Amino acid sequence: ELAITSDEALSLDDLPKRAVVFGGGYIAVEFASIWRGLGATVDLFYRKELPLRGFDDEMRAVVARNLEGRGIKLHPQTNLMELVKTDNGIKVITDHGGELIADVVLFATGRLPNTKRLNLEAVGVEIDKTGAVKVDEYSRTNIPSIWAVGDVTNRMNLTPVALMEGTCFATTVFGGESSKPDYRNIPCAVFSIPPLSIVGLSEEEAIEQVNGDVLVFTSTFNPMKNTVSGRQEKTIMKLVVDAETDKVLGASMCGPDAPEIMQGIAVALKCGATKAQFDSTVGIHPSAAEEFVTMRSVSRRVTARGKAKTNL
């Protein structure tokens, strides 16, 4: 009654002057950026220490700094306990006893698969405890004639991933060629201001999965467009490399045009590119993207299980 979801946020009659956003994922960060960019006062509440759980921790911290730099008020490790309608707006009460007044409160805390109205139990289709349809690696349910793709299966909930799953389904069922989705090195972007984009493993995931050492390369600089405008907002780039094989395991960037740049980097990772191949690639100058092929110095070397061996 007193809060909205992202569905209603796209059809508001008026731009809110005071917005509260609850959540730390894609939708929360993006709408907080949109409303702040349009001039609203924005307070962003989330339960963890940093927004964007599941992303590289270093890049999460960069996004948090940028959000604050844009004027968004961050409230980490804070939950909303009560909303009260008043003559002046919606009173928001937190679990820390804080109170503020907002024109709109957006809940962006995730969604459950919308399967209840499908009556799947009538035909015996198995679903998990969240309501997601259970499928095998080819997107087939336990009923041979029923298949499911996209967010309803709660695998990797991204639009292009759903398209990939649908294409593989069509190839398998109608093309006569067994085809299953490949979830390795799928790039994605959070359209905050500036945006964050990643592909492959985060530093934390690499440390967990690689048997040997992990090399981390980083670059921080002020984009030329920011230099001209006077905005003090740094671009951060990062490569995570397997020290033994020299294979690039992950790449991330937070800064202007990050999604456009990361799409090309994703092709390289899909092809199994090594750091040496990155280094041997000639950069396009002047561009931000050239930093990905000119990072020569190791920022840190980390052993498996997270112990830093060398900081350079």
Q: Point out the residues that are catalytic.
A: 285
Q: What is the rounded radius of gyration, in angstroms, for the C-alpha atoms of the chain?
A: 22
Please tell me the distance from the alpha carbon of residue 31 to that of residue 29, in angstroms, as a whole number: 6
**Cβ count near 219 (within 10 Å):** 18
Please tell me the distance from the alpha carbon of residue 61 to that of residue 254, in angstroms, as a whole number: 11
Helix pair 26-37, 57-69: axis angle to 10 deg: 20
